[in-house]
Structure 1
Amino acid sequence: MQAGLAGFALGFSLILAIGAQNAFVLRQGLRREHVLAVVLVCACSDAVLVAAGVSGFGALAELVPGLERVMRYGGAAFLLIYGARSFWAAWRGGAVLEAGHGAGSLRRAVLTCLALTWLNPHVYLDTVVLLGSISAQYEDRLAFGIGAVCASFVFFFALGYGARLLAPVFRRPVSWRVLDAGVGAVMWAIAANLLTG
């Protein structure tokens, strides 16, 4: 039980900070577009990564020379492009908060979510390396991993479906412009951190 609670607490704290993935989930939740698919992709991806870390894959990833550099530059390139799209959306003007307005396809939403998840090197560092190494300190690594996975499901479902509470704020187009500009700034900041870190 103690290992499970520790896994939950650490897993929750690692995904709590706003990032590209969380900003996308928030946006989909506000627009009420493909929310279930998006939160499931995020939570299930985290589950796979946590399982890999807890099972010892983090040590193997450190042995592959050049993998970290490829992940870092590829992730930074993706975030720069996606951030530019967010800035362009902010420049063009805010969206209208109505379900179905400007709805993207389910395929596009899922692919974007997968890219934001799997092309982000911080995801590997947090889930595979950090959670994996900390889980080694616990006798019951399985309980620790289950706790971390539960934290991912709780967080993403709360973010995706809880975004509706912010709907009154986002009825005004200017709010969407601010959100888009904020998302672009977050993505470019993460990309800059990847390139300089």
Structure 2
Amino acid sequence: MLESYLTGLLVCGGIIMAIGAQNAYVLGLAVRREHHWWSAGLCMSSDLLLLTAGMFGVGALLLTFPSTMEVMRWLGVAFLGWLACQALFRATTGRQGLTVSASGERSLKQVLLATLAVTVLNPQVYLDTFLLIPAVGAQQESAAVFVAGAGTASILWFSLLAWGGSALSPWLSRPWAWRMIDGVIGLMMAAIALHLAFSGLKS
């Protein structure tokens, strides 16, 4: 049982920690202290839901419709490109650091909807949670304990992003620091969008 838990923790943790659109978005919110814990919580909940569904075979049903995955792929490219443009625009025009309201410019509803879009419009998420991770989980003694370990990895990682980004905010009060952060996040989003557009999905 413990082996199943640790396997889920390590396998899922390794996949989640890879730099992706979801991680970059949550980190950006955390640095700006813009409803970051709500966003991180939604990411944790989504991961747990998708992992559980994947273990029970929902992914196999979805992947029988390749046209659906292709549509989601291009929606993801468009949305990630839009986020990249927003971040790069902020990087070029500048911001006033922490003299701006700490609650950010967007409402909680807008942040949650954007977080959900970053999650569900990335087809690679489904390949990971519906195929790769369940393939490992199917070989474990207890699938439920494996999912618990994978869920723990998600909770720990997104908590670290939310806490770490927020903790760095007081040291990032200068406008040039904010511009650098937005620039890096914008470039990351653009790179992920281009990779998804030209490389497609790899199972």
* Shorter-chain TM-score tier: over 0.9
**Which residue is equivalent to 1:24?**
25
**Which residue is equivalent to 2:128?**
126
**Which residue is equivalent to 1:65?**
66
**8 A contact 1:58–1:128 mirrored in 2:** yes
**8 A contact 1:58–1:133 mirrored in 2:** no
Please report the RMSD computed on the Cα atoms of aligned residues, expressed in angstroms. 1.5
Alignment partner of 1:154 is 2:156: yes
In structure 2, the CA distance between the partners of 1:30 and 1:60, relative to structure 1 (3 Å rule), is: same
Quick one: percent identity of the two aligned structures?
A: 39
Deviation at 1:175, TM superposition (A): 1.2
CA distance in 1: counterparts of 2:115 and 2:193, whole angstroms: 17
Question: What pairs with 1:36-185 in structure 2 (closer than 5 Å)?
Answer: 36-97=37-98, 100=102, 102-185=104-187
SS at match of 1:63: coil
CA distance in 1: counterparts of 2:36 and 2:194, whole angstroms: 29
CA distances 1:15-37 after superposition (whole Å, capped 9, x unpaired): 11222211121122122221221
Relative to the length of structure 2, the TM-score reads 0.91
Q: Structure 2: which 5+ runs fail to align?
A: none
Relative to the length of structure 1, the TM-score reads 0.93
Structure 1: which 4+ aligned runs deviate by more than 2 Å? 97-103
Letter in 2 for 1:118: V
**8 A contact 1:38–1:109 mirrored in 2:** yes
Aligned pair count reads 197
**Which residue is equivalent to 2:192?**
190
Deviation at 1:121, TM superposition (A): 1.3
**8 A contact 1:30–1:97 mirrored in 2:** no
Letter in 1 for 2:29: Q
Between 39-48 and 133-142, report the one with greater CA deviation: 133-142
Q: Structure 1: which 5+ runs fail to align?
A: none
